[in-house]
Structure 1
């Protein structure tokens, strides 16, 4: 596992998750994506996917996989956001991004993604950041585009029938690759 030392930024602390964080991170991730709690924020998938977004095994796999990190963002020792970073050659993959719903819309997500990009560039020499977003999430894709990400038109199928990813409420879900140049 690649690790980075904790880094302070204003009132926020950024650090790599450890196995002991799983019990706090699973409900944070779930709250940002699924169920009624997620509707407090604007990033909910509750209308297109039911069921869970992740589970303890999935979060632990991200924490322990070689070339992978789960960055935890804390305020006063409490996890309020997280994101996955995975080293993929000259690129880094950004995923499992969650901001506590009652803190969405105030610039925290913007700060977290900027820190993730900085970290991937400095730790791994990443030249690009890649992510996949469900293509019908137009408002979320627009948010990423305002952060410098571009749609590639490269689509991959949604894993229908695999409830580890949720229970789809529509039949047109696909992932689209978004890319951002981290150089310059």
Structure 2
């Protein structure tokens, strides 16, 4: 992929679920994820999500799952959910072999623009596994702030993976959209 070319953004559809599920899995879990830097393979086994979870985001009344394409290929995705005065950002995945080339910065900037201009929200929020210091640092460089507000990892719910450690929790990160 030519990382200098602007990728195409479009709302995902139900027909995209298998490709999106494969992309999300490849970016975070299993050996394929080790080609990129966002892997969770050392802290979680199993699935990152399932087909029902992806479809739920696509069909959600206040949500949008954006498919990102380059050269006609699905290369990334991200979730936005309109929650009143803020938008929630999640399900962010970039093909592992394209990570580190600047595509993620373009995608998050577009998500922020969409949330601000289309939904009129003043803040973006997300949750990140607190042990993912490298990923949190990346978001901080994009203007996000650590809040110290933690929520529990859903232990026992295999649709989110099988933890290899017992200290997982999510930290809330926020960013004012100006």
TM-score by length of 2: 0.97
Partner of 1:3: none
Partner of 2:17: 22
Partner of 2:28: 33
Partner of 1:107: 102
Partner of 1:4: none
| Mapped partners of 1:112, 1:145: distance in 2 | 16
Partner of 1:164: 159
Partner of 2:173: 178
- CA deviation string 1:72-112 (max 9, x = no partner): 11012111000000000110000000000000000000000
| Mapped partners of 2:170, 2:124: distance in 1 | 16
1:145 to 125, 140, 145: 140
Partner of 1:45: 40
TM-score by length of 1: 0.93
- Structure 2: give runs of 5+ residues left out of the alignment: none
Superposed structure 1 runs of 4+ greater than 2 Å apart: none
Partner of 1:155: 150
Count of residues paired in the alignment? 175
| Mapped partners of 1:84, 1:154: distance in 2 | 21
| Mapped partners of 1:71, 1:11: distance in 2 | 15
| Mapped partners of 1:58, 1:82: distance in 2 | 14
- Structure 1: give runs of 5+ residues left out of the alignment: 1-8
Partner of 1:5: none
Q: Please give the root-mean-square deviation of Cα atoms over the aligned residues, in Å.
A: 1.0
Structure 1 residues 1-150: aligned runs within 5 Å: 10-150=5-145
